[in-house]
Amino acid sequence: MLPLSRLATALLLSTTTLLSATAMAEEARYNQVALRAEVNQEIAHDLMHVTLYSEAQDSDPAALAAQISKTLNASIAEARKVKGVSVASGSRNSYPVYDDKGQKITAWRERAELRLESADFSALSKLTGEMLQTLKMGGMNFSIASETRKTHEDALLKDAVAAFKARAQLATEALGGSGYKLVSLSLNTGGFQPPMPMRMEAMKGAAMMDAAVTPEIEAGTSQVNINADGVIEVQMP
């Protein structure tokens, strides 16, 4: 066991060390200011997405499945002929149709989707109009390609850092400082992409059966933004 005097000395040293560490931590936070700078840019959508579907009803589920498959296979073959259009199968499901009392199955109904994507709006628009003669429109929307977004974000990163430095300088001058040190900085990307509505040319009666309906394209834009959040330590004269 340590003598009382040595124990007291050890406790004093421990307390002094703890106080010194606390003082250093408080000193590190001295004159620190949290800042945020944000830059953004509107970027035109360069990818078009179309969802089409086939839906039918039959008392024989096997015949129904064969009918849906035949329609989809023909549509996929047609879509693959168009250069620059990506084709993928979407969801497919079937469910029973009951009688009025909800007790007996009278038929089966099935729905299957086909998803198309392309950067060539004109080609996909024309293809969509042609395929609407056998399929139904499930939806159309637009987006920014990953490579396009990355290119713009890389350029915005420099702008975000420059905007943060400008704010840091303004805060330093407002506080009467002679300069500042950068304590931390984080860059976060984000953006808002609202749904893009689709308008169809008005066609009535037999005209719709005789000609493909070509959608009018309004791709729109999305806003991509980068936030620069950081902390500076203002140096006082």
Domain that residue 90 falls in: 47-143
| Residue 98: inside a domain | yes
Mind listing the pLDDT tens digit for each residue in 194-218?
544 444 433 333 333 334 455 566 7
pLDDT at 29: 63
CA distances from 229 to 150, 151, 166, 221 (A): 20, 21, 13, 26
Query: Which parts of the chain have pLDDT scores under 50?
Result: 2, 4, 7-13, 15, 19, 195-212
Residue where one domain finishes, among candidates 143, 176, 193: 143
5 occurs within a structural domain = no
- Whether residue 90 sits in one domain with residue 60: yes
Residues 79 and 95 in one domain: yes
Residue 150: CATH number of its domain: 3.30.110
Rounded to whole angstroms, the Cα distance separating 69 from 213 reads 24
CATH of the domain at 91: 3.30.70.2970
In a domain, 58, yes or no: yes
Structural domain includes residue 86:
yes
Say if CB 90 and CB 112 are below 8 A apart: yes
Same domain, 112 and 190: no
Are 109 and 226 members of one domain? no
